[in-house]
Structure formats: C-alpha cells, structure tokens
C-alpha cells in the first residue's frame, strides 16, 4: 500500500506527498535498524554478563583449590625438614615416624598451577575476548593466563628433576599398600631403615633438592593465588556496577 501511494503521488507529481512518504519509509528503516542494533547489543551484554559470572566462579574455585595445594606443600616441607634432620643425625623420635613416612611418601609430589579454564577456553575458542568491555579486566585476564601457561611449561623440567631425586629414595624403601596412613587415604605405610638411608649422603642431598623445589613452587603458587584473589574484586565490581549482580564468594 505504501509503495502504491508513493507511485500514485509520483505520477500525480504531488511532490510534498512523495517526500513525506519517503521520509516515513526512511524513518521506518532507521528505527528498524536501531531496534535490531539495540537487541543485538542487549544479547551481547547478556553474554558478557554470563562470561563474567563464570569467570568469577572459575577463578574463585581456582584460588580455593590452589590454596589447598599450597597447604599440602606446606605439610610436605614440614615433613621433609623432619626427614632431613633424621638423615643428618641417623636418629628420629618415635613421634616423628608418621611425618617421616609422609615425607617419603609425598616426596616430589607437586601439582601444576591450578586454573579452571572452562570460560577462558570458551572465550578463546570463540574468539570473543573482546566481548568483555572492561579493558582492565581483559588485560589482567590475558596476563594471568600467560603466567599460568608459562609456569606450566616450567613444570615439565621441575617434574623431571623431582622424579630423578624421588627415585633415589624409592630404591631404598618399601611401600606397604595394605596399611593406609591414618588421615591421608592416598598414602600408605613406608618401610625404611634410617641407618641405611643416612649411610649414603646422596639420600639427604636428594631430599634437600626436592625440598628446595617444593619451597620454590610454594612461593610461586602463593603469588598466583594473590593474583587470583586480586582479580576477583575486579570482576565483582564490574558485575555490580553494570548489572547490580553480587557475586557469591562463599
């Protein structure tokens, strides 16, 4: 109908009416495009909100998990210190038996840096990192991921080094899988002879080398936890300021 009116007005040389009809058509097209753009932007912002929420959840879980890993490293360092003292003196108190068994059983057990990459990998696969409007969040996310990947690459040489030293001790002890250690279901009793172990200096050297690497990883992972914990408020503030969404940190 509109096109017929335009044609009729054109044929009648009713130029004001033609111009008016063209203005109406142009306005309709413009408003339609604007509505489409607004709807697309609304969808994009909802996607961004979802990504930010999942990023928050991933980094919160990563920080909590890495802190548990760090507590295990702290326990390993304490047990390794007792084991080293026993190797240096060829003596240990009966109360230290469990710590020494843990020290041997967990010698060189270090996890790679923990990062739940569910959302990061989804953003990378879709090429949608730019959907996050806050440049500071994008930059910090990229920086953290780069650090984790670098530390993961470093871990390959760390694992080789730890395995080498662990094998020195493993050759001189026996693991009794029929006797789980209380309070540590993944560990079993370790049969060892302290006199035999301390008679070879390489054993103390192996434990010392592992202890050094364990301490080095603990320092590195504490720094990484701090980065995670610092990143979380950035995401939380963005969610609150733009959507009124309060992230659940419990």
Does residue 122 form part of some domain?
yes
Domain-embedded: residue 249? no
The domain total for the chain is 1
Residue 206 burial class via C-beta count within 10 angstroms: exposed 0-12, middle 13-18, buried 19 and up: buried
pLDDT beyond 90 at 120: yes
Taking only the tens place, the pLDDT of each residue in 22-66 is 566 666 665 555 655 555 566 688 899 999 999 999 999 999 999
Indicate if the pLDDT at residue 14 is higher than 90. no
Distance of CA 176 to the CA centre of its chain: 35
> What pLDDT score was predicted for residue 178?
86
β-partners of residue 184 are: 181
In a domain, 238, yes or no: yes
User: Residue 248 domain-assigned?
Assistant: no
- For residue 115, being part of any structural domain is answered with yes
Closest CA to 232 of 141, 135, 104, 110: 141
Helices (H), the chain: 2-11, 15-89, 97-105, 118-126, 135-170, 194-198, 201-243
**Quick one: 96 exposed, middle or buried, by C-beta within 10 A (0-12, 13-18, 19+)?**
middle
Q: Is the pLDDT of residue 151 over 90?
A: yes
250 within a domain of the structure (yes/no): no
Question: Would you say residue 105 has pLDDT above 90?
Answer: yes
Cα–Cα distance between 185 and 15 in angstroms, integer? 90
How many CB atoms are located within 10 Å of the residue 209 CB?
A: 17
Specify the DSSP element, H or E, that contains 171. none
| The pLDDT of residue 12 | 55
Evaluate whether residue 143 is within a structural domain: yes
Tell me: the pLDDT tens digits for 190-213?
999 999 999 999 999 999 999 999
d(CA 229, CA 7): 67
When pLDDT is averaged across residues 8-19 and rounded to a whole number, the result is 57
Q: How far apart are the first and last CA of the chain?
A: 61
% of residues, the chain, pLDDT over 90: 70
Predicted pLDDT of residue 27: 62
Average pLDDT over residues 148-167: 93
Range of the domain at 200: 2-243
30 vs 236, more confident: 236
Overall average pLDDT of the 160-166 stretch = 95
For residue 38, the model assigns a pLDDT of: 54
Instruction: Give the percent of the chain with pLDDT over 70.
Output: 80
């Amino acid at each position: 109908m509109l096109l017929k009116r335009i044609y009729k007005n054109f044929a009648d040389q009713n130029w004001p009416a033609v111009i008016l009809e063209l203005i109406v058509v142009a306005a309709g097209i413009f408003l339609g495009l604007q509505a489409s753009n607004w709807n697309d932007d609304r969808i994009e912002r909802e996607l961004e909100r979802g990504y930010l929420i999942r990023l928050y959840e991933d980094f919160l879980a990563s920080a909590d998990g890495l802190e548990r890993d760090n507590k295990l490293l702290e326990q390993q360092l304490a047990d390794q210190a007792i084991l080293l003292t026993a190797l240096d003196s060829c003596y240990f108190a009966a109360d230290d038996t469990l710590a020494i068994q843990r020290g041997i059983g967990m010698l060189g057990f270090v996890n790679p840096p923990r990062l739940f990459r569910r959302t990061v990998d989804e953003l990378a696969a879709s090429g949608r990192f730019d959907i996050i409007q806050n440049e500071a969040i994008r930059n910090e996310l990229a920086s953290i991921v780069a650090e984790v990947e670098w530390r993961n690459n470093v871990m390959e040489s760390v694992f080789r080094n730890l395995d080498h030293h662990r094998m020195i001790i493993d050759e001189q002890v026996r693991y009794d899988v029929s006797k789980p250690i209380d309070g540590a279901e993944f560990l079993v009793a370790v049969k060892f002879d302290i006199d035999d172990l301390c008679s070879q200096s390489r054993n103390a050297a192996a434990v010392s080398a592992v202890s050094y690497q364990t301490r080095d990883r603990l320092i590195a992972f504490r720094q990484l936890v701090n980065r995670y914990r610092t990143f979380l408020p950035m995401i939380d503030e963005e969610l609150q300021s733009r959507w009124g969404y309060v992230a659940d940190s419990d």
